[in-house]
Structure 1
Amino acid sequence: MPEEIGYQTGMLPTWGQLVAETHETNPDLMWPQSIDVYDRMRTEDAQVGSVLQAVTKPILSTEWVIDPAGADDEVVTHIAGDFGLPIKGRDPIAPLRTRNRFSWNDHVRLALLELPYGHSIFEQVYRPEGGLLHLAKLAWRPPRTISDIKVGSDGGLIAIEQHGVAGKLKVTIPVDRLVVYVNEREGSNWLGRSLLRTAYKNWLLKDRLLRIQALTAERNGLGISTYTGAPPPDAGTYEDKEKWADEQVKSGLKIAKEARAGDTSGVSLPHGATFELKGVTGKLPDSDVPIRYHDEQIARAVLAHFLNLGTETGSWALGSTFADFFTNSLNAVAQHIADITQQHVVEDLVDRNWGPTVRAPRIVPAKIGAQHPATAEAIKALLESGALRYDPALEAHVRALYGLPVRDPNYTPPPTAAEEAA
């Protein structure tokens, strides 16, 4: 097979070239400074946290299965056991223990951190058992620990480097030990693109508006105590009048600082002095409107328009349309996770145990938003149409679904009218 003639990146990529591949022009969002910014966005802002939860929670709660896809039973059982997932079309078998075993749900949760950070990287760790290699864990390598990503001229990943700790040198992990989830990777950009990138400007402006709003309430919300001193007496020398003015300033300042509301509160003033609470004159700018606008734009950045219903549109009429767009995007993210896992975990595990010529099963997520509720009417219609037939397992499932008691094994029901006629 002929080698590639062109290239996606230079022959000797450096840290500067790595950053340049992201095509990022904002210095605050250039890696690795971007990690701190996206951390602030997802931990300090309620709307950003809400949209991230809206994206990740449905994917975490969906059902994942191992599809045999024509692979040998030994291979399918091995993969399903290591992942702790059920096999499609077979009754699920619970593992004997879950402690110190690979957790698929926890792995998906960490893999989805590619959305805020742009990338999420894992190291494959295996354990030998029974003459075969088993998946011990996929060890997460946090973005803060990564010092460099080595990329070939064809844009392919070569290795990653981690910062040295406790006096140790940098750690290099080769690509054959890595599983790398990258959001919207283009060419040799293995840093990816954060899902929050398009929402950054709105988050920044909203953050400034919130600070101004809080400062406005703090400075002007209660008014300012203002004391106006009494005029000096007509008699007396200039020095006496100056002394009188100084005493008025001191006593007035004391009154203004100590003024409090209460049942026994009051102010005693000399003749001609005044005391009042002065607020802002004129109309203050309404910061709620731009803050609400920026919240809407943050939700739009991840197609979560439904989070704005009731505030943006004032109606739920478009809810189903918005939900369809959103669930389609969730299914695309779930399929992306499945594709990377299939290529770099499932097939790697099969290759290490049985070789590259053996067929591998597939890891498949259930389609989000396509589940049909098992209502009593639906079950009745399926039974009457013949699409389903009664069996003890179906009855046990229906009883559990509706919280009904378990069937008494010693009870024999009377025959039905049809059974008596027969």
Structure 2
Amino acid sequence: MTGAHPSTPPDPAFERAFREESGRALATVARIVGDLQLAEDAVQEAFVDAMRTWPGSGVPRNPGAWITTVARNRALDRIRRESQRDAKEFDSSRLAQPNGEGEEVWPVRDDQLRLVFTCCHPALSREAQVALTLRLVCGLTAAEIARAFLQTESTVTRRLTRAKSKIRDAAIPFRLPPEHLLPERVPQVLACIYLVFTEGYSATPSRAGEATRTSAGPSIRADLCEEAIRLGRLLTELMPDEPDAWALQALMLLQDSRRAERLDADGAARPLEEQDRSRWDRRRIEDGTRCLLAARRSTGSYLPQAIVAAAHARAETWEDTDWSVIAGAYERLFELTGSPVVAVNRAVAVGFRDGYERGLAVLDEIDGDPRLDRLVRPVRADLLRRAGRQEEAELAYLAALELPSNDAVERFLRRRLSEVRSARQR
């Protein structure tokens, strides 16, 4: 059963229990037995037991405690059998049975935090960190991870197997980093969570293209957005004094609040100025705003990005957008990162704040990096269109369409090209 969990029955309570409790149970059982693979197998077996017994007896009042206790017992039973078979001495403390459902069995905060940091250990590749986090913390199957990232299930399974083998063979400890290493390890955890979100919020061109070729897949994957936000919520609960975690959560909630309006009926990207703001998720905006307040001490790059998202979310109309705040946030973000991508976004904000010709001038100051063409060409075309330079805008949109993009972006660019051509004819 390694690498997969049983298919869930129709009862939504079971599926909810698996999503919510599998990571907690795994973290606690791994802490008790000291073996990540054994803990994972035991939790899977516990859910098989649940599938057999819950339909008749009903979902327990505390399903997490039930799963964790059964999984703990399964793991210890296997240890006993292997110890007897191999005639080896075994640490009696690992076989000690705690009384009832006390702290030794019921998932505790530090157990989950250990699991998150183990999945995001710097010895593992970024791809392995993401796959392990989705598998072990979120409870996604290898098939679900493969589908989300448009990869084959066998590829994901091999990646998970190699990552768990590396944890075992390199004796990567199942514990929190030492206090002096914690600040440098937190960014890896945050980056892993944000990568999950960005893969859901906007597909990379190569993967979006593959989706288009195979199944006309959307450029928004709601399941990944939801999992990333769930991970972010978990991290803020586990590390309530970490302002960068709150900043990331604010950013994801505020961006995701617009999900329902990001694509039109034809699957084309819908720009902010055309979105129906009454369909934005007000609860997510409120939650994101609260997280933004908790992040005020953050000195990292997620805070200015969240400020940009909040400026858009708070504007009742497109015309109410505070471009001074947005431009200032991009200035700060550029100071932190020096990213040319940020420089492009800053040019857009300057264009709306100080005039489109000024925005074009700022865009021209960015060094010509061909890797930025996918971003620069559409931005230049849009600023030219808004500045009334329709002939140049048409050529810019044609240049943008020469580059690979996901289906939603291509549809949007073609629509804008048609609008520019119509304006020229008039």
Larger RCO (CA within 8 A; separation ≥ 6): 1
Higher helix share: 2
Higher strand share: 1
| Interval containing the TM-score (normalised by the shorter chain) | under 0.3
Larger Rg: 1
Q: Please, what TM-score do these two structures have when normalized by structure 2?
A: 0.21
Q: Please, what TM-score do these two structures have when normalized by structure 1?
A: 0.21
